[in-house]
Each structure stands twice: as C-alpha cells, then as structure tokens.
Amino acid sequence: MLQIVFDALSLGSLYALGALGIALIFGVMRLVNFAHGDVIAFSIFALLWPSTDAMAIVFAGNLPWFLLIPFVLAVGAGLSVLCEIVVFRRFRNTNPATMMIASFALGFVIRYFLLMLYSSRPKSISLLPILSQPVEILGARLPLLQLITIIVTIAILFGLVIFLRRTRFGLEMRAAAENFSMARMLGVRANRVIMGAFALSGALAGAIALIFGIQTGTADIQMGAAVMLMAFISTVIGGLGSLAGAVLAGFLLGAASVVMQVILPVDARPFRDAFVYGAVILVLLFRPQGLIAARGTKERV
C-alpha cells in the first residue's frame, strides 16, 4: 500500500515539475513550449561526450553530486534562455498558435542535433548509483531515489512559492503572468521577466533530466517527449497558466497512472494509458477551464 503511495507521488513529482516548467512560460508569454521536453533530453546528454557508440563516454557525469546537480540545472536553464533569445523573442507578438508551432519545430531541431551527435541508441549511464539502493520505511522497501525525488520536488515547490511570494522578481513575475501589458506600463521589464521564466523553467527541466536519468539509468533522446506529454496534459487539466493547478494536476495524473496499474484487471493493464487518457477527457468535459482557473482570466463583474 505504502509502495503505491510512493510510486504515485514520485511519478506525480516528475509530471508536476514538467507541468510547472510549461506553466511558468505560458504564464508570462502565452507560449505552450513543446521544446521543453527536448531541453530535458539535452540536459542529460550534456553529461556525455558526443559519440555515436553504444557505450556512453561520460563527461560531466562523473562529477561529485554537489557539482553535478548545479551543472545539469545550469545546462537546462542556459539552453532554455538561449531558445528564448534566439527564437521565441522574435515571436513575442505573434498569436499563440504560431508560437506553439515554432516551439514544436525548435524541439525537433534540438532533438535532431542530439541525434547527430549521439545517435538514436539509448545509452546507459549510471549517475549517483548510491541512490538506487533500497531503503526500508514502515515496512516498505523503496529505492532511495524515490524518496529523494519526492523530497526534492516538495523542496522545489516550497522554494518556488517563497521565491514568487517574497522576492521582488517573483512579485513582478506574478504580475506579468496575470497582465503582462499592465505590468510593463508599471515599469516591469519584459525581457528580464521572460528570461527569468525561461531560466526557471529550464532549471526545472534539468531537475527532471537528473531524476529521470538516475531512475532509468539511460540517456534516451525520446525521454523528454514522454514526460512532456503528461506534463502538458497536466498544465491543461490544471488550468493553463495556473501554477498551483499544474502541480496539482501533475500529482493527480501520476496517482491516476499508478492506481490504475494496480486496480485494473490484469488483462486490461497493458492498456492502462487508454484509461488514464479517458479520465483526462472526463475531467476536461466537466471542467474545461481546468481544475484551478488561471488567474487573470477570472474577472469580477
């Protein structure tokens, strides 16, 4: 039982972190950033030397954890900010559909860039192997990583809340997310806020890359896309633009996946995803605006 709770929480953590990365950017510029998943993949590959061999040649992956973690976060943040400066800045005043397609295209550019350097074969890497050891909690044997994933996610969420509520930059980001044009008329610098959102979102992508990489022990060019789809669905179910909604929906989706894996009859389990997505449709039918309607869209009459 406890095992299920932890499975649900740790899977939900990944989705929540992914959803947050998308919601942050959507909040400030109404861009649904499909390149986010490829930023995740890029962050993990940055630990390896470019080579098309099946064996990974570890580069930064051997760093001690206190350097490894900042390195991956910085790679994610750096690439994300670069995407903003090189691509998205030029699309700022276009309509959301145009921006979305641009992000799709950019995602593929990043993915094929990785493909060129590393080939499409997933590479096995072992990062921080100590985390794969099991620990025993209340009678359940859990991988240490699962526990750490949950703790780290909660810490990141708390940190983000404090950042958004207590700092000037956080205040400006919240104001800009709600009404960008008004925030600018009050002197909030558009470029700074948007680059900040991209940096945060990219660092979150780095965090997901680390967790995912340690969990699966492989670096796979497709890995970002898998998390990304669920994360994107979470942001929509949560209410596009609502950070709290994105996190809530991420955890709910994680829970739904894990719980269905357990309660579905054995014959139906291979089709679990169909049930999960069916539940998604149901939620959207009853709450098309999302679980938590985004701020800025509600208005007092």
Identified binder of other proteins from the candidate list 25, 172, 196, 239, rule CB under 8 A: 172
Identified binder of other proteins from the candidate list 135, 154, 182, 262, rule CB under 8 A: 182
Question: Cβ of residue 48: shortest distance to other proteins, in angstroms?
Answer: 41
95 binds other proteins (CB under 8 A): no
Phi first, then psi: give them for residue 140, nearest 5 degrees: -105, 140
Q: Is 225 exposed, middle or buried (0-12, 13-18, 19+ CB in 10 A)?
A: middle
From residue 189 to residue 218, what is the string marking binding to other proteins with x (rule CB under 8 A)?
A: xx----------------------------
Stretch that binds other proteins, among 102-110, 135-143, 188-196, 199-207 (CB under 8 A): 188-196
299 binds other proteins (CB under 8 A): yes
7 binds other proteins (CB under 8 A): no
152 binds other proteins (CB under 8 A): no
69 binds other proteins (CB under 8 A): no
Number of residues that bind other proteins (CB under 8 A): 22
Identified binder of other proteins from the candidate list 140, 178, 217, 275, rule CB under 8 A: 178
Stretch that binds other proteins, among 56-64, 138-146, 178-186, 247-255 (CB under 8 A): 178-186
What would the DSSP string read from start to end of the chain? -HHHHHHHHHHHHHHHHHHHHHHHHHHHH----TTHHHHHHHHHHTTB----SSS--BSGGGS-HHHHHHHHHHHHHHHHHHHHHHTGGGGTTS-HHHHHHHHHHHHHHHHHHHHHHH-SS-EE---SGGGGSEEEETTEEEEHHHHHHHHHHHHHHHHHHHHHHHSHHHHHHHHHHH-HHHHHHTT--HHHHHHHHHHHHHHHHHHHHHHHHHHH-EE-TTHHHHHHHHHHHHHHHH-TT-HHHHHHHHHHHHHHHHHHHHHS-GGGGGGHHHHHHHHHHHHHHH-TT-SSPPTTT----
CB 238 within 8 Å of CB 23 = yes
186 binds other proteins (CB under 8 A): yes
Identified binder of other proteins from the candidate list 64, 66, 130, 168, rule CB under 8 A: 168
**For helices 2-29 and 168-178, angle between their N-to-C axes, nearest 10 degrees:** 70
Stretch that binds other proteins, among 136-144, 166-174, 229-237, 262-270 (CB under 8 A): 166-174
90 binds other proteins (CB under 8 A): no
Identified binder of other proteins from the candidate list 63, 152, 188, 284, rule CB under 8 A: 188
From residue 241 to residue 280, what is the string marking binding to other proteins with x (rule CB under 8 A)?
A: ----------------------------------------
Stretch that binds other proteins, among 82-90, 169-177, 251-259, 275-283 (CB under 8 A): 169-177
- List interacting residues with other proteins (CB under 8 A): 168, 171-172, 174-175, 178-179, 181-190, 295-296, 298-300
